[in-house]
Structure 1
Amino acid sequence: MNITYYLKIVYRNFINQRPYTFLNLIGLSIGLCISFIALLYVTEETGFDTFHKNSKNIYRLSNKY
């Protein structure tokens, strides 16, 4: 009973304040996309060569001339 009441209030607020609703939804979607991209980047960088049996003993050497 309370859930339906809250959903009705949310729906009424969305209908009555459309510009703010769209602004909030756009901001939320942009924030979620940026967070997802950052998460993908971090998992890619930390998961380098972890599929090997002795992944703790693997080191990367780079030499610049």
Structure 2
Amino acid sequence: MFKKIVNYSKACYSELAHNTTWPTRAELTHSAMVVLSASLVIAVVVFIMDSAFRFVMGTVYPH
């Protein structure tokens, strides 16, 4: 069983060290900016929808 664990660890290391393509700093920065922008857009859309529903519910069911 110990031999299986060692072989698995060696295979994982080999895969990460030799076969994985890591992004460059520029690619990573670009991807992070895309994710940040998309998150901001989604947050704004959710805020607008929440405000609209709050207005409609406040109109239909006044306090």
Q: Provide the TM-score with structure 1 as the length reference.
A: 0.53
Pairs aligned (count): 44
Counterpart of 1:22 in structure 2: which amino acid? T
Richer in helix (by share): 2
* From 4, 20, 29, the counterpart of 1:22: 29
**Residue 16 of structure 2 is aligned to residue 13 of structure 1:** no
Q: Deviations over 1:1-48 (max 9, x none)?
A: xxxx7xxx5xx835xx11110000000000000000010000000111
- Flag as ranges the 4+ runs of structure 1 deviating above 6 A: none
Give the structure with higher Rg (CA). Answer: 2
Structural RMSD (CA):
2.7
Q: Provide the TM-score with structure 2 as the length reference.
A: 0.54
Runs of at least 5 residues in structure 1 that lack an aligned partner in the other structure: 59-65
Q: Distance in 2 between matches of 1:21 and 1:45?
A: 36
Runs of at least 5 residues in structure 2 that lack an aligned partner in the other structure: 1-11
